[in-house]
Structure 1
Amino acid sequence: MALLPAIRLACLLLLVDLVVLAALAQLAPALAHLGLAAVWLEAGLRLPAFTVAGRLLAPGGPRGAAVVLSLTPAAFLTLRSLLVPYSAAPVLLATAAPVWLALTHGATAAALLVWAVPSPGRDTGTESPVAVRQLLALALAEWPVLGGAFFFLVLAVLGETAGPYCTGKALDAIQHGDGPTFFTIGLVLAADLGSSLFAGCRGGLFTLAQARLKLGTCYQLFSRLLRQDLAFFQGTPAAELSTRLANDVPLLCDVVPMSTNVALRSLGMALGLGGFMVGLSPRLALLALLEAPLIITARKVYDARHQVLQRAMLDATANTAAVVQEAVSSIETVRTFAGEEEEERRHSQAVTKMLGLKDRIDVEQALFTLIQRALQLAMQVLVLCHGRRQLREGTITTGSLVTFLLYQAKVSHHVQALVFGHGDLLSKAAASRKILEYLDREPTGDTGGTWAPTTLQGHVAFQHVSFAYPARPEHLVLQDVSFKLHPGEVMALAGLNGSGKSTCAGLLERFYDPGTGDVLLDGVPLRDYEYRYLHRQVVLVGQDPVLFSGTIRENITFGLESCGEEDVRAAAATAGALGFILALDRGFDTDVGDKGGQLSVGEKQRIAIARALVRRPTVLILDEAASALDGEGEVAPQQWVRSGWARTVLLITHCRRMLEAADRIVVLERGAVVEMGTPAELRSRCGPYSHLLQRGPGAGRTETPRMD
């Protein structure tokens, strides 16, 4: 809440109160003989006036300000009359000295300002309540386990509440000379043992719910991330995602069962023990309960800071992990440019920021703990002094006072735990906002239609396609591109860097959807095909293919539910990989290492081609990949088409021999089609294709799709 609305509301309430009290002063003689009832009647008359004025004239102020201002004087005067029966406190605020009015509004204004003070960098949105609702919705899936935990929680609270009461009765029996009986000792032991047993069952079930929730959330989050589009992954570092999974998910899943456990247990204990305290001594109970608003106020100020620092801490941790992973994964580039010192500096800055935030969190937590303990000690001393006075008056027994003091220590502990649990829930919900955002993201990467015909001809058509990458929407990579790829032919895309060749491959693979125009397969737009069916029929092999940790066989059959050994061997032989695979000690069971690091670039390309061919795709896209076949590369695609391994092949290559071996060539220049035809036709025209051949072998290298 902003400071300006709080100040405006405080001034408005003062003016309204002056008018209301002036009117109530005329009724003071009639109300004076009612005693404390007059105090609460006055509060009841002031409350609607404050509420209406605040809603109409200061809508930006806190809604609870009217309640605080109207009820606080009545509560104070009631408490003072109970604790100090012959005090000089006024009966009505309307007839009191101006200092009482100034004190009331001053205290209320101070409370409003403390509540309104924003923390540095704190978001002013309403994400915390929304995040809490999302957390509770996640935990609802484990309701059977949580229901059992709540049942044992109630039993544990009853046992823990009865323990001090039985102890007090035993002390009174000893004081009267009766001595402890077997029955009283049995009650104390039964209460303590039952409380311990039920508390253990409660804790075990909450731990089980926490583990199940963590497992389910990790699975749900990973599944949701895998189904996002490429633009999401290009804008989110992989290290950040892995750190979120490793750090934020446990934080998120710990807080729901833990906070629910602490909150319900503390609430039940506070209400139960508070009822016993009121029964033992109403005056001491009212005095002890003064600790609650003081602790809540202090906790609110601390939580406002802690939420911001914890969120910043998680972001700094994710950034540190990203720096480490980026440096390790690019170690060859770091060594090439002697950038070790630069990477050390980046890592040092990230770690320093992370440790600085951690130190601030620890210091503020220590200060809050000190304030909390001081308030608790002050209230204990105050209650002990008034208890000593009541012992002298004979209104309370020694056993009852001991029981009350035991209850007070427990109630204080549980009130603090309740306030802490609420603040911790809000803090961790806000800190885990990224995880909740990821869980709320709709899948956009594996969406598609329902069209899945039994056979495909392999006719591809680009119809007036224009496209710009999401990161640079103002820069058109393709502009009104139209060409066709017929079944049974090998067509090549040629062009300079940035001409749009790999972008066409990405659109055909449906990594992206065109901005305008359509990409058709057998006359049907790609978006109408079922997702898994489309990627079984249209397969891409890139220049630097990625292999996953595992065996060669697992990489070739990746994504296939069932694949026979004969199909795997035949695909490897067609891709030219069978010879070197069989030469390995373990053959197809050889582990390729992280990202295929145990193999050479050419070997990885051959395995990737085998992974594509084993699917017998309708459309095979080779993006600078067929060069791995050495001398047979220029004729291999035609052989695959003739032998039925692929029905249509699209080549993206800078190799002149492969361009000349293609059935047709489409030449792209600055995202537009400038020429198409057979290699002989294009050479005879002496146009862009001829100029491209004259520029040398590297002129037509493919562009990077994400930076096109």
Structure 2
Amino acid sequence: MSRINLRIREQLFSSLLRQDLGFFQETKTGELNSRLNSDTKLMSSWLPLNANVLSRSLAKVVILYSFMFSLSPRLTLLSLLEAPLTIAAEKVYSVRHQAVLLEIQDAAAKAGQVVREAVGGLQTVRSFGAEEHEVCRYKEALEQCRKLWWRRDLERALYLLLRRMLHLGMQVLMLRCGLQQILAGDLTRGGLLSFLIFQEDVGHYVQSLVYMYGDMLSKVGAAEKVFQYLDRQPNLPPQGTLAPPALRGLVEFHNVSFAYPNRLDQLVLKELTFTLHPGQMTALVGPNGSGKSTVAALLQNLYQPTGGQLLLDGEPISQYEHCYLHRQVALVGQEPVLFSGSVRDNIAYGLKNCSDEKVMAAAQAAKADEFIKEMEHGLHTDVGEKGKQLAAGQKQRLAIARALVRDPRVLILDEATSALDVQCEQALKDWQSRRDRTVLVIAHRLQTIQSADQILVLREGELLKPAQLMEGQDLYSRLVQQQLED
């Protein structure tokens, strides 16, 4: 793979990671993979040849063979014997070529896996400000592909050299036969020289005809598709610049309303007003589709409110610098997204120069250190694709450790305690109380809700009155009654 190809892919991947979430809701993952792999390769290869060149090459082959046959039918037939020898060399080469292609496919699959994980877990990537980290992962995978492509091209170059030597050998043989015809008076010296020149031109034009037409049709369309993504401007506000040295973690919603970009006529949140205080745990409850996860998305600045203000320490949350914000506001989702790599890589995800001591401290706070120590390679154990080597509770604890290692001022647990035991939940509460952090818990479990300092109830995007524990006849009371009956 050429360096220009690597550069195009890196730029395209970086551009995709910076697009708004609405873009990925409308674009299929397979289409993105095709743009990154097939189309970038096509557009970085040789420039397409036009139909005029193709037709002229075909006409020249026919005319040259006619001239060659008129000069010497015997030498023309002899030149055709080169084909079986070329096929034999091609067979030997194809065996090695197929083996290299299999390695290339494996390497390309690993690079594609990075793309699928990053795109599939884009909200997590964006939440932890790890766009550059993912670009580096993809660049490393592409570098491995480039080495295999270089090996493939080297073997092809040697094969072409062998074929060229075979061609020269046939020319020597034909030169000898031509000299015999000259001595016999069947061919002139000028005729032999003309024949050899015609034969050289025929070989060149025949090779060109094989791939010329396909290149002409494919490369222009591929380049157009790639540049559509490179030139696309994400539907995002200008990035903020605020990065204060200290942050309290006071979150204020003032009449916040929100509708998703592709459904602007349907409000998901309607004039929400509430405050999340440092040192307090707030529980957000409500039926499915009431807008709870949307509140978490707004807190991470993944979307912008369509009305009202969302403030962090008195400043609009969109005014904070991207990576700084996502070090201060951390999310643990209901379905944790883990990436292929070691346990340590997943806990320290998106962080530079994060020591093993800090990683283990976060693991201990999330009660993940026990099963990590039981693993054969400890922190360096591979979790598998999307963490498939781990149980649900273990994945959840690693996701919590990934959030805690940042020591965030605001921690969002979006149904994150569903796969945890009471011991781990208590550890989270201890962490929150010791560090005076702001915690928002989206949960349905009574054990989690009843320990909250305040409870907010959402229904159809509207905030009902703050519920008091075990009192009233509102939605929260029905939830409590249901769990008591269970």
TM-score by length of 1: 0.46
| Shift, 1:686, TM fit | 2.8
**Are 1:551 and 2:342 matched, yes or no?**
yes
Give me the whole-angstrom Cα distance separating, in 2, the residues matched to 1:471 and 1:255. 40
- Residue 313 of structure 2 is aligned with which of 512, 522, 531? 522
User: Highest relative contact order (Cα 8 Å, sep 6+), 1 or 2?
Assistant: 2
Amino acid paired to 1:674: L
1:695 to partner: Cα distance: 3.9
Deviation at 1:425, TM superposition (A): 4.6
Task: Name the SS for the 2:43 alignment partner.
Answer: helix
- Of 430, 444, 458, the residue aligned with 1:654 is 444
> Deviation at 1:518?
2.1
Distance in structure 1 (CA, Å) of the matches to 2:237 and 2:369: 33
Task: State the alpha-carbon separation in 2 of the partners of residues 589 and 405 from structure 1.
Answer: 65
Query: In the alignment, what sits opposite 2:475?
Result: 688
Say if 2:367 and 2:427, in contact at 8 Å, map to a contact too: no
Q: 1:212 Cα deviation (Å)? A: 1.6
User: How far off its partner does 1:399 sit?
Assistant: 7.0
1:630 aligns with 421
Work out whether 1:484 is the aligned partner of 2:271: no
Assess if the C-alpha contact under 8 Å between 1:467 and 1:478 holds in 2: yes
The CA deviation at 1:426 is 6.1
Q: What whole-Å deviation, never above 9, does each CA across 1:297-327 have from its counterpart, x for those lacking one?
A: xxxxxxxxxxxxxxxxxxxxxxxx9xxx9xx
1:529-557 superposed Cα distances (whole Å, 9 cap, x missing partner): 11100111111001110111111011100
**1:450 paired to 2:237:** no
How big is each residue's C-alpha offset from its partner over 1:236-270, in whole Å with a ceiling of 9 and x where there is no partner? 232332233222221221244xx3xx68xx79x99
2:441 maps to a residue whose letter is: L
Indicate the SS of the match to 1:694: helix
1:510 aligns with 2:297: no
CA shift, 1:434, in A, is 2.5
CA contact (8 A) 1:227 1:445 kept: no
Separation in structure 2 between the aligned mates of residue 606 and residue 634 of structure 1, nearest angstrom: 10
Q: Which amino acid aligns with 2:383?
A: V
Q: Structure 1 counterpart of 2:338, which letter?
A: L
Which one-letter code corresponds to 2:7 in the other structure? G
The correspondence for 1:671, drawn from 453, 461, 464, is 461
8 Å CA contact retained: 1:557, 1:563: yes
Cα distance between partner residues in 2 of 1:638 and 1:576: 12
1:434 aligns with 2:209: no
- Of 462, 469, 482, which residue of structure 1 is paired with 2:260? 469
Shift of 1:634: 4.8
How many residue pairs were aligned?
A: 357
Write the distance in 2 (CA, Å) between the matches of 1:425 and 1:529: 48
Listed one character per residue, the Cα deviations across residues 27-74 of structure 1 (whole Å, up to 9, x for unaligned) are xxxxxxxxxxxxxxxxxxxxxxxxxxxxxxxxxxxxxxxxxxxxxxxx
Task: Say if 2:42 and 2:218, in contact at 8 Å, map to a contact too.
Answer: no
Task: Rate the CA distance shift 1:597–1:410 in 2: closer, same or farther, 3 A.
Answer: same
Change beyond 3 A, Cα 1:580–1:445: farther
What corresponds to 1:141 in structure 2? none
Aligned to 1:617: 408
Question: What is the Cα-based RMSD across aligned positions, in Å?
Answer: 3.7
Residue 628 to residue 417, structure 1, CA distance change in 2 (3 Å): closer
Q: Which amino acid aligns with 1:550?
A: G
**Residue equivalent to 2:353:** 562
Q: 2:480 & 2:39 partners in 1: Cα distance?
A: 53
Shift, 1:576, TM fit: 0.7
Cα distance in 2 for residues equivalent to 1:212 and 1:502:
42
- Which runs of 5 or more residues in structure 1 are unaligned? 1-209, 274-320, 330-397, 700-708
2:363 maps to what in 1? 572
| Deviation of the 1:647 alpha carbon | 1.4
Is the CA contact (8 Å cut-off) linking 1:228 and 1:446 kept in structure 2? no
Whether 1:538 aligns to 2:325 is no
Tell me the secondary structure at the aligned position of residue 372 of structure 2: helix
Cα separation, 2, equivalents of 1:597 and 1:560: 23
- Residue 592 of structure 1 aligns to a residue whose secondary structure is coil
AA aligned to 1:622 is L
Query: C-alpha distance in 2, partners of 1:698/1:406?
Result: 95
* Partner AA of 1:462 in structure 2: F
What is the CA–CA distance in structure 1 between the aligned matches of 2:340 and 2:247, rounded to whole Å?
33
8 Å CA contact retained: 1:633, 1:658: no
Which residue of the partner structure matches residue 232 of structure 1? 23
Larger Rg over CA atoms: 1
Q: How does 1:370-409 map to 2 (within 5 A)?
A: none
Describe the SS at the equivalent of 1:626: coil
Give the partner amino acid of 1:650. Answer: L
TM-superposition CA deviations, 1:581-619 (whole Å, max 9, x none): 111111111110010000000000001100100100010
| Structure 1 residue 694: Cα displacement | 2.6
State the TM-score, normalizing by the size of structure 2. Answer: 0.65
Partner of 1:76: none
What SS class does the counterpart of residue 284 from structure 2 fall into? strand
Q: Greater share of helix residues, 1 or 2? A: 1
Match of residue 642, structure 1, among 424, 430, 433: 433
One-letter amino acid of the structure 2 residue matched with residue 544 of structure 1: E
Shift of the alpha carbon at 1:421? 6.4
Residues 603 and 446 (structure 1 numbering): CA distance in 2 closer, same or farther, change over 3 Å? farther
Distance 1:220 1:425, change over 3 A: farther
Contact 2:446/2:480, CA 8 A, preserved across alignment = yes
Aligned residue for 1:505, secondary structure, equals helix
Could you tell me how far apart the structure 2 residues matched to 1:562 and 1:577 are?
21
Q: Residues 423, 598 of structure 1: CA spacing in aligned structure 2 closer, same or farther, 3 A cutoff?
A: closer
